[in-house]
Amino acid sequence: MCKFRVFFISTPAIGNLVPIVEFAQRLVHHDPRFSATILIISLSQRPIVNSYIQSRSSTYSNINFIHLPPVDSPSPDQYQSAVGYISLVSQKHRPHVKDEIAKLQQTESDSARVCALFVDMFTTAMIDVANELNIPCYLYFASPVTFLGLMLHLPVIDVQLATEFIESDNELIVPKDPATELIIPGFANPLPPKVLPTSVLKRRSDGYSWFLYHTRRYVETKGVVVNTYRELEKYAITSVEATTTVPRIFPVGPVLDLAGPIEWHPERDQQDRIMKWLNNQPRSSVVFLCFGSMGSLGRSQLREIAIGLERSGFRFLWSIREPPKGKLDLPGEYASVEEILPEGFLNRTAEIGLVCGWVPQVTILANQAIGGFVSHCGWNSILESLWYGVPIATWPIYAEQQMNAFELVAELGLAVEIRVDYRSESGDMVLAEELERGIKRLMDGDDEVRRKVKEMSEKSRMAVMENGSSCASLTSLIENLTSGIS
Task: Look at phi and psi of residue 399 and say left if phi exceeds 0, alpha if psi is from -120 to 50, else beta.
Answer: left
**Pairing status of strand 353-356 against strand 248-251:** unpaired
Lowest mean pLDDT among 27-41, 69-83, 145-159, 404-418: 69-83
Cα gap 254→259, rounded to integer Å: 14
Residue 94: give its domain's CATH number. 3.40.50.2000
Task: Look at phi and psi of residue 366 and say left if phi exceeds 0, alpha if psi is from -120 to 50, else beta.
Answer: alpha
Per DSSP, the three-state class of 287 is strand
Find, among 85, 101, 91, the residue nearest to 38 by Cα.
Answer: 101
Q: Is residue 219 part of a domain?
A: yes
Q: Are residues 351 and 220 part of one domain?
A: no
* Mean pLDDT of the region 346-363: 93
Per-residue pLDDT of 42-66, as tens digits, reads 876 567 888 888 888 888 888 999 9
Q: Are residues 71 and 19 part of one domain?
A: yes
In terms of residues, how long is the chain?
486
Q: Is residue 158 part of a domain?
A: no
Q: Are residues 342 and 246 part of one domain?
A: no
Q: Are residues 358 and 275 part of one domain?
A: yes
325 to 83, 121, 214, 329, 377: CA distances (angstroms): 18, 26, 28, 6, 23
Per-residue pLDDT of 281-298, as tens digits, reads 999 999 999 998 777 888
Residues paired with residue 289 on neighbouring β-strands, in sequence order: 318, 374
What pLDDT does residue 482 have? 93
Q: Are residues 87 and 122 part of one domain?
A: yes
Q: How confident is the model at residue 469 (pLDDT cuts 50, 70, 90)?
A: very high
Q: State the burial class of residue 283 (Cβ atoms within 10 Å of its Cβ: 0-12, 13-18, 19+).
A: exposed
Q: Are residues 325 and 224 part of one domain?
A: no
Q: How confident is the model at residue 426 (pLDDT cuts 50, 70, 90)?
A: very low
Cα gap 311→314, rounded to integer Å: 8
Cα gap 210→105, rounded to integer Å: 31
Q: Tell me what the pLDDT averaged over the chain comes to.
A: 90
Q: Are residues 220 and 298 part of one domain?
A: no
* Mean pLDDT of the region 431-459: 94
Q: Are residues 118 and 10 part of one domain?
A: yes
Q: Is residue 195 part of a domain?
A: no
Q: Are residues 398 and 345 part of one domain?
A: yes
Q: Is residue 344 part of a domain?
A: yes
Per-residue pLDDT of 448-465, as tens digits, reads 999 999 999 999 999 999
Per DSSP, the three-state class of 270 is coil
Q: Are residues 293 and 210 part of one domain?
A: no
Q: Is residue 399 part of a domain?
A: yes
Lowest mean pLDDT among 253-257, 359-363, 420-424: 420-424
**Pairing status of strand 173-175 against strand 165-167:** antiparallel
Q: Is residue 57 part of a domain?
A: yes
C-beta of residue 125 within 8 angstroms of C-beta of residue 131: no
Q: Is residue 189 part of a domain?
A: no
425 pLDDT above the threshold of 50: no
Using a pLDDT cut of 90, give the percent of the chain over it. 67
Domain that holds residue 363: 268-460
Q: Are residues 86 and 48 part of one domain?
A: yes
Per-residue pLDDT of 229-243, as tens digits, reads 999 999 999 999 999
Q: Is residue 435 part of a domain?
A: yes
What pLDDT does residue 334 have? 78
Total domains, the chain: 2
Does 254 sit behind a cis peptide bond, omega within 30 degrees of 0 on the bond before it? Answer: yes
* Mean pLDDT of the region 116-143: 96
Q: Are residues 456 and 468 part of one domain?
A: no
Contacts with 132 (C-beta within 8 Å, 6 or more apart), sequence order: 98
Q: State the burial class of residue 320 (Cβ atoms within 10 Å of its Cβ: 0-12, 13-18, 19+).
A: buried
Contacts with 33 (C-beta within 8 Å, 6 or more apart), sequence order: 1, 2, 3, 4, 482
